[in-house]
Amino acid sequence: MAKRKLILDVDTGTDDAVAVMLAALHPALDLVACTTVNGNVEVAHGTDNTLRVLDHIGRRDVPVYEGLARPLVRPDFPVPRTVDDRAGKFHGKTLPLPPTARAKAAQGAVEFLIETYRQATDEITLVPVAPLTNIAAALTLDPKLTERVPEVVIMGGGHAIGNVTPSAEFNIWADPEAAAIVFGAGFRKITLVPLDATHRALVSRADCDRLRGLGTPAGEAAAECIGHRIVAHDAAQQMATPGTTPVHDAVCVAYLVEPPVIATRKLHVAVETAGALTVGRTVIDTQFRGSGLPQCDVAFDSDPARFVDLLVRTFAA
Ligand code: BDR
Ligand code: CA
């Protein structure tokens, strides 16, 4: 069977790192490229981290295209929580992996996205697991992108849960105008994996032991990244089960190879860009009270055992 092609847009990041490894190593996936953007860490660090991850697992052939360094219209966002605070707690600026001598691609991420989709003869799923700045910029330059992308799988937002404010999730909050453009653009299919789903696929210290026990570069790197996240979450944002963490971005990649890992409902999603208390909120119309037609398959649940087994199987090879 032909492999499913994808482009992963990342701000690597401890959970992005696991997503990159899953996308690069799963035998049913063909990771065409990674694109990077401002988010968890400044974009230069995100690019460097992404290259480190790919090199560490022997995928030096996957190119990394660096994208935009600032949100579309809020040059000083995110404030008042700085990117450095967030990086320090959950990610660290530089992942604990060997440095890379490899350079990023010469072309910028936005240009790469536009050109690649213009020329594509195969379907390429677009998987943004970071602020949506690159995707919104590409759409603004080439609105036909909506017709060329078969499916967009986004990690972002939350209905019952926020993580950076009481009502907003980081990826959407960090560039709300970009997110509003993407959700309103008219893509053929959007699958949204918000916190409501990622907080159900919690990964534990025992799971990290399984991953480390594989003795592979990916198993060890995943255990290291996830272990770091468990410490950070226990200290700053404890999960329903202490000693566990969501690995948000990897759930999107897991869905590509095992769709039942999430359970979705087709709903309308819009993004708040003005509210003083609610900026960056994904307004998900669960009761069909608005006039917007459902345009997203929104995940409200996920299967932790299936998710962890997939990571273990993929990183064992
Ligand atoms: C999202 O924000 C980032 O910190 C993570 O990498 C993930 O994409 C979770 O809110
Ligand atoms: Ca991310």
The string of pLDDT tens digits covering residues 90-137 is: 887 899 999 999 999 999 999 999 999 999 999 999 999 999 999 999
196 lines ligand 1 (CB under 6 A): no
Distance separating alpha carbons of residues 143 and 48, to the nearest angstrom: 30
Ligand 1 and 170: CB distance under 6 A: yes
Question: Whose CA is closest to atom 4 on ligand 1?
Answer: 40
Question: How do residues 208-230 score in pLDDT, each as one tens digit?
Answer: 999 999 999 999 999 999 999 99
| Residues contacting residue 310 through CB under 8 Å, at least 6 positions apart | 22, 254, 257, 258, 261
Query: Do 11 and 38 meet the contact criterion of CB atoms below 8 Å apart?
Result: yes
Cβ atoms of 311 and 211 closer than 8 Å: yes
**Distance from C-alpha of 307 to C-alpha of 19, rounded to nearest angstrom:** 12
**Gap from CA of 38 to ligand 2 centroid (Å):** 10
Element (H, E) at 27: none
User: What amino acid positions are annotated as catalytic residues?
Assistant: 248
Residue 9 confidence (pLDDT) above 90: yes
Mutate to test the pocket of ligand 1, among 249, 281, 302 (most ligand atoms within 8 A of CB): 249
User: Residue 210 C-alpha to ligand 2 middle, in angstroms?
Assistant: 24
pLDDT tens by residue, 36-58: 999 998 999 999 999 999 999 99
State whether the beta carbon of 229 lies less than 6 angstroms from ligand 1.
no
How far from the centroid of its chain's Cα atoms is residue 314's Cα? Answer: 18
Helices (H) and strands (E) in the chain, counts: 13, 12
Question: For residue 176, how many C-alpha atoms fall within 13 Å in the half-sphere facing its CB?
Answer: 21
The reported pLDDT for the residue numbered 77 is 62
Q: What token pair was written down for 237?
A: 């944002």
pLDDT over 60 (residue 163): yes
pLDDT at 1: 81
- The string of pLDDT tens digits covering residues 166-181 is 999 999 999 999 999 9
Domains of the chain from N-terminus onward: 4-316 (3.90.245.10)
Mean pLDDT of the chain: 95
Instruction: Give the whole-number percent of the chain exceeding pLDDT 90.
Output: 92
Out of 8, 10, 11, 175, give the residue to mutate to test ligand 1, the one with the largest number of ligand atoms within 8 Å of its CB.
11
In three-state secondary structure terms, 299 is strand
The DSSP H or E segment spanning 316 is helix 304-316
Q: What is the pLDDT of residue 128?
A: 99
Give the list of residues 6+ apart from residue 7 with CB closer than 8 angstroms, or none. Answer: 31, 32, 33, 34, 35, 113, 116, 124, 125, 126, 127
pTM of the model: 0.97
pLDDT at 80: 42
